[in-house]
Amino acid sequence: MQTSTSSFLRLSIIFFIALLFLITLSWRFPTKSNQFLDCSGAGSKPSLRRLHDKRLESERAKTQLTKPDPLKETPRHPLDPLTYQEILRVSSILSTYSYPGFHPSFPPIHSLSLYEPDKSFVLGWKKGHPIPRKASVIALHSGQAHELLVDLDSDCVEVHSVIHSSGYPMLTMEDILAVTRVPFTSAEFKESVTARGLSLADISCISPSPGWYGPDEEGRRIVKVQCGSSEGTANFYMRPLEGLVVTVDVDRQEIVKITDEGRGIPIPGGTGTDYRYSAQDRPVEMDPVNPISMEQPKGPSFKIEDGHTVRWANWRFHLKADQRAGIIISQATVRDSETGEPRSVLYKGYPSELFVPYMDPDDGWYYKTYMDAGEYGIGALTFSLVPLNDCPRHSYYMDGVFVSSDGKPFVQSNIICVFERYAGDISWRHSDSSVKGVELIREARPKVTLVARTAASVGNYDYIFDWEFQTDGLIRVEVSLSGMLMVKGTPLTNTKDVQQEDAMTGPLVSENVIGVVHDHFINYYLDMDIDDLNNSFVKVHLEKQETEPGTTPRKSYLKAKRYVAKTENDAKIKLKLYDPSEFHVVNPSRKSRLGNPTGYKVVPGGTAASLLDLQDPPQIRGAFTNNQIWVTPYNRTEQWAGGLLVYQSRGDDTLAVWSNRDRPIENKDIVLWYTLGFHHIPCQEDFPIMPTVSSSFDLKPVNFFERNPILRAAPNFDKDLPFCTLSNLP
């Protein structure tokens, strides 16, 4: 008995070890990719195939989900971005352009993109009509920004002007790469690195912009290069050489100043900082989550027409990548649920600027007040999205065709994805047992949406930009943050050693690492065109009413009162929880059958306001954060909330400056600017890479439709859904 018990125990132990080995193997070596879920209904359930919707099948056959070849693409819509071939032509026109100082070679190009035709032309344009093509070029010559308008139909430079506002255009990719090499030419820098016990071969650097702080650093483009140790880790951001800041003249490629004040601060250790899957030495302590994805046995329901026009359910819009804005949505129209009429909602929407001030006045930190769109370009900092992880199965991927400083085009592939999302949510529902003569009612509709996404890696930080379209007419605009914190080295390894909490500019997030408190603000340009160009902005203010004593048991109630904004000052909105309003953009000329003006409202989600002093230099530049909402009359030169030139600018060409004119905005073509904000007080979970944090705002129909536009939408039925089996690819 004893013998058989011990052999049973032995067998159990061997079995357990074998099982452990297999689990480890399966974790280290994931399932081969040639195994997949077959949801076609083929095989074990052939009868399900008959249930396929023939209409959708034939629609799919017409869908051009094959990506066009970016090298051969031709423009097919007036808002299509410049093609690869067009950029080559612009480059060739500029190479022979005669202007003092522009020879023998054209000066470095900092921006080259489509000069969109006038709105009136675009709105009147029909497929088959001619498409005028012009390029807007910003070049930098002897510290002066020049703007040129190149006509591709006549092969000539049509307009050439010097930009007089302060600041410089976006850094080029060549600028960014070149400046990080400059510190390595300095003996002082090299000595500081080796004095900290590090090898130069392990030093990786980034090129933070300097902001603007008065005349000392004016008159030349500079970058404040900072470095970290990548010894044994890909995450050098968590191992800063604190206090070592190399100020580099970008154009001369030489060092202006080296500040070296942190030699006594230890370099934080590299252990546990690497975030790559391949660098992990053990699995996460949790029960395994099985592979998961959304199956679409009939394929996606959206179409991409002519390379850039997205059609899905009741939505239609133009979608493109942009070197500065990242992603641009244009001419978004929603079909009327009653009449089928396509109705205009948004002429153009995109992230117009970011503002990321860090809250640390130290010498190595005060200037960290980034404006990433205007300083670097959101699109310029995108990488190809990762299928199955950045975007789900059945996504369509779109390229960006961008321009390097020598005017040559290059393709940034797969930087936008479009996909349908079903997250198990509900579009509308009701259950009821109190209806006479009717059995129990249980009605619910699944919420399926369409998402257009891009993601940018701005040095350490990652921003994910989503536009999500719902069939009930709502557009959700979401920004998600991930990537690495910008951290500060410290001798501290435990909070018990903190002598002066006031001296800390953020919490300790790891040994020798402070996560400095900071904000993120993302401003959206939203050219709303509700049913036509001329709209009004209406503040629907909730006001407390006090009742007459003795007339009702109630003492108070709320009333919604409408205030139509006459001028820009009426539409500068600071959000207040205890003084609430709704913010409507309406078309006063188009009324619903009940007489309400058709409209959309902007619905803020979780957000944050800037608390910096209004006269603080970064706040002057990022003054678009002084209000959460602004409304301006449409003006094609006012596109970027932080100004056309942002790099080292003094904030003299911003939304706040334009809006000071207090122009009339009632019943006019208006643009709404909304700023989404985050206060970020870092915590240990943000180390070594941050779990994604998201926030959003909605554009939601208000009296736009006659009734719930998806009343007649069909529910899901079991018989229509796939039956999936695990099978192997040949």
- CB of 675: closest distance to Cu ion in angstroms? 16
Piece of the chain touching Cu ion by CB under 5 A; list 84-92, 206-214, 531-539, 673-681: 673-681
Sole window of 61-69, 146-154, 241-249, 676-684 interacting with Cu ion (rule: CB under 5 A): 676-684
- Cβ-based nearer residue to Cu ion, 517 or 540: 517
Of 134 and 518, which CB lies nearer to Cu ion in the complex structure? 518
| Pairwise CA distance, residues 337 & 707, whole Å | 9
The DSSP 8-state label assigned to residue 134 in this structure reads E
Closest to Cu ion by CB, 517 vs 575, is 517
Rg of the chain, C-alpha, whole Å: 29
As measured in angstroms, the least distance from the Cβ of 359 to Cu ion is 11
Query: How far apart (Å, rounded) are the C-alpha atoms in residues 560 and 582?
Result: 9
Q: How far is CA 171 from CA 144, 372, 600, in A?
A: 14, 10, 37
**DSSP secondary structure letters along 93-123:** HHHT---TT--SSPPPEEEEEE-PPPHHHHH
Give the shortest CB-55-to-Cu ion separation in angstroms.
47
Stretch near Cu ion under the rule CB under 5 A, chosen from 33-41, 319-327, 560-568, 674-682: 674-682
Cα angle 681, 686, 690; round to 5: 115
Exposure string of 133-148, with b = 16+ CB inside 10 Å and e = fewer, is: bbbbbbbbeeeebbbb
The residue count for binding Cu ion (CB under 5 A) is 1
Q: How far is the CB of 457 from Cu ion (least distance, A)?
A: 14
Of the candidate residues 680, 697, 701, 710, the single one contacting Cu ion (CB under 5 A): 680
Nearer to Cu ion (CB atom), residue 484 or residue 586: 484
Q: Which residue is nearest to Cu ion (CB)?
A: 680
The neighbouring-strand residues paired with 584 are 538, 601
- Is 134 a binder of Cu ion (CB under 5 A)? no
Tell me how far CA of residue 206 lies from CA of 181, 333, 416, 504, in angstroms: 10, 42, 25, 24
Nearest distance in Å: CB 680, Cu ion:
3
| Catalytic residue, candidates 372, 527, 529, 653 | 372
- Complex with Cu ion: residue 519 or 527, whichever CB lies closer: 519
d(CA 8, CA 376): 67
User: Interface with Cu ion by CB under 5 A: which range of 132-140, 151-159, 680-688, 702-710?
Assistant: 680-688
Residue placing its CB nearer to Cu ion in the complex, 93 or 487: 487
| Known catalytic membership, residue 80 | no
Give the Cα-Cα-Cα angle 239, 368, 264 (nearest 5 degrees): 40
Stretch that binds Cu ion, among 73-81, 530-538, 542-550, 675-683 (CB under 5 A): 675-683
Find the binding residues for Cu ion in span 16-35 (CB under 5 A). none
Amino acid at 706: E
Going along 607-717, which residue ranges are E strands?
A: 629-633, 668-680, 690-702
Catalytic entry in 84, 396, 461, 525? 461
Length of the chain: 730
Q: What minimum distance in Å lies between the beta carbon of 208 and Cu ion?
A: 15
How near is the Cβ of 531 to Cu ion at its closest, in Å? Answer: 39
Catalytic, 461? Answer yes
Tokens for 651, please give them. 């904030």
| Nearer Cβ to Cu ion (40/695) | 695
SS3 state at 539? strand
Taking the mean position of all CA atoms in its chain, how far away is CA 554? Answer: 47
Which residues does the annotation mark as catalytic? 372, 461
Interface residues toward Cu ion, by CB under 5 A: 680
